Structures are given as C-alpha cells and as structure tokens.
Structure 1
Amino acid sequence: MPLVGTRPTTDFEHGPLLRQPGGEPWVLPRAQILQVMYEIEQGAMTSLLPPALHPTIPPTLVVTVMRAPESPVGPFTVAEAKIGCRSGARPRALSVRAYCDSAAACEALAARWGYPVHPAEVVLAKRYDRSWGAVRIGGRTVLEAHLVDPEAISGSDIQYLATLNTARVERGGEAVPRLIQVDPEYQFHSADRGMPELLAFDAEAFALPGAEPYWPVSASLAVADVAMPELRYLVDPAKPPLAAVERI
C-alpha cells in the first residue's frame, strides 16, 4: 500500500482565510528566485503531511526565497520551506508557514492564494561567488540557505513544484481547512545552478516539526517574470488522496 500522511488536520485550522480567490493574475517582472532542496530524515516522512498526500521517497525539504522588485502592492521578499509530496500522482510541495517582509504583500498573498505567511525580515542577496536567502525573526535567524559557486544554465533546466498552501475556505457558513494549489508560470531571463548549503533551518518556525535536513540535493537561482495564477484546485486534507481534490 502507498504511504499517506498521518498529520492531524487540526494543525491547519488556523491557516489564513481565502477571501478573494480568482480575479486578475499578478505578473511579477524580473523576480529573483532562490531554490535549495535537501533530503530529510525518514522518521518524519508521514507525520509532516496530512492524509490527503503521499510522501516522496526519499522525503525532501524545498526552500524557496523570492524577491519581487515590482508587484501591485509594491516590492516584497517571501520565503517558504516546503515538504515534497504527491497529490494523487502529481508532485507538489506543502507549505504550512511562510514569511514575508511586506505587510501589504502578506495580506494579499494570504487573501488571494492562501499563503500561510507571517511578517519577518526576509533577505535575498547575490554575489559573484554565491547567493543566499535568510529569514530573521526578532533578531534570530530561522533560515539561511546558500547557492555556492554558480554556473549559468538554461531556465528550461529548472522545475518548480506547484505549492499546496495550508489555508481555510468558506463551506456551509464556516471556515474549514483546505490546501490551495498555487502553480505560477515562469518566463526565464537567466538561471544559475550551484552547490546547496543550508546553514540555518528552524523546523518549528516553519511548523514542520521533525523535518531534519541531512543531504544536499540541488540549488538554483533564476530571474524570471512570474505570473501568479488564477486558482483552479483545492485539496481536502482529511480525505484519501484520490478523493481529496476539489475544483474551485
């Protein structure tokens, strides 16, 4: 039998309320996107995911830091630490808590796409020999991820997983947990790959207890126009994988 998640869906009952799904998509021109992937210890492979999702084998942690110099709510930088998974047969990444340096972006990302985003100091920096992203809360670093020794590649060599954001939607007059599928489109201008380094990761800060990174997999940095999408699918976290997907 395929493995499925065992995480209680009560963990998602305080996610943001999806208030404004749909509407005109955003386009974020020339956004910088750092992605670092690590394998994590198998002990938490199922406990990090709800019953609607399958774990990947090996289990993975995907760190993404995106800096958008322009948006309808102004510039912002957002950081996510997500768990690789499958919704049915399709690869996805589960986001339980994220961070952003703009209050206006926090509100819009939560209301329109269900991002479980909280305010924090988030940075993304690029130098000739490395790029890195970091999250600091109250002066404490909860995430620091690096790409070291960059080499130019084609944007077609990069693949980003669609994200499942833990949020809530209105059903029958009450707010119930749902996973919101967000799959932006990317038009690449440049891309690099390099050695991944995860110098700091506080699993509790990202609501991922037991996620212990131990083996580096990949790192990339891209500059791309990012089209934030209209929403099409939700996932009921409590249902079995083949019965969990809902259309909006």
Structure 2
Amino acid sequence: MPLLAVSGLTKRYRRGDTLVSAADDVSFTIEPAETLALVGPSGSGKSTIARLVTRLIEPDAGTILLEGTNLRALKPSALRAMRGRLQIVFQDPLAALNPRATVGRVIEDPLKIHTRFSRGERRSRVASLLERVRLDPALASRPIHEISGGQRQRVAIARALASSPTLIVLDEAVSALDVSVRAEILQLLKRIQRETRVAYFFITHDLGVVRAMADRVAVLDGGRIVETGLASEVVSNPQSEIGKALVAAAPRLPRS
C-alpha cells in the first residue's frame, strides 16, 4: 500500500469572472521512504498542491489517503493527531516560524502537541534534534530572527522531525538558500532519510535538485500533471514540452 495516495485532487479559484484551476484532477502516489519531486514553473500550482495535501487549504474534489486514512474525512481533533505523521517545511522559515520565539521553543511546540514527554524529556529531545540537523544544542536559547537563513532552515527541518513523521512535504525548501548552503541541506535531508526512512514530497522548479534528490518525478503545468516517471529518465529524456524547458534551464548538481 502506498504511504500517500492522492486521487482526483482539484482546486479552482475565481479571478473576476474566470475560474482558474490551480489543481486539475491531480493523482499520484508516494511509497514509504521514497522521494517524489513535483516540478513545474512558477504559477503551475505546485505550492497549492502542497497545501492541499497537508490540508492547509481544502480541495474542491479528490481524495488524500495517508497510510490508508482518508484525511478529508477526518474531524478536526483526528486531523490534528494525524498531522504528526505529515509535516511541511516551507521556503521561508522566517515567515513560517515565529521570528521572536527561541529555537528551542519552535522545536518543542510539536512535542507538546504530539507526545506525552515530560518537560525534561522534551528539552532532551530538542537537543537531540538540533544535533541531528548538525546544529549546536546551545542554539536552543537563541531567537529565530538572530540566526542565519541556513540555520533557520535546519531548525524548520528539526521541527518537522519532532513528531516522527512518515512524510515531509518540502515546499521549495532550498530555493532561497545560497548554492553552498543548499547543497549542505540536501545532503542533510538525504542522510535523515537514510536514518529514519521518512518519505519526501519535494516541491521544486529546479531539476538540478531533482537530480540530487528524487526517485520519481511528476511534471506539473497549469495545474495538471503532464509527465511522470523515474527521475533519471525524465531528466535525461523529458517527453513534455514543459519538462524539456525545465531540463534545459536546470543547473547541474551531483547525485551521491
């Protein structure tokens, strides 16, 4: 059984008198410990699909099954409990996290929600998570706005890992980082996946990132998936016009 099975996902927005499809009958699956990349140009609907899958916004139609559970059928209390299994990391952690909260508080909050750890156990877990993302545990006392962009993204990843998810959605999570920092974060994510067997749903416009990270790729254009396949095959021989354009524009990142 797939870890995530999305079928017929649809979302339309009204712009004046026109209905615009941000997601048009989108279907895909993600297996345990797999990385699926969703690629497409700006405005193709990638971030909308990320928010639909995590139920940050509601679809007009479609089903979202996580570990066999229909997320759309869950009542609010059950959905909150299920969110521990499904986490999201955004492009801009400074906007996604409380910039005046400390690093420790940001990581501890999901532990309060999704675990029964004591205060001491939570603090120990925060230190362990900071070490996992290659940050000094002493950083826990620093406010988010005082640390660097690369450090903030590592904190966002640590926060996502706090509830031991089976799937993490990464919505352009490395696109705002410097090239050297981006490579470090990608290597970090790959190591975490090897250690924890977590699956990734990687939202990106950059096929260089796909080369480095993905097992499979789905190409999105105008809210519709126009091509899917093994990442190596799609990147080396794209069949769709938008896939060809993305490949032509992609920087080369080594896959290790």
Please report the TM-score for the alignment, with normalisation by the length of structure 2: 0.25
Higher percent of residues as strand: 1
Higher percent of residues as helix: 2
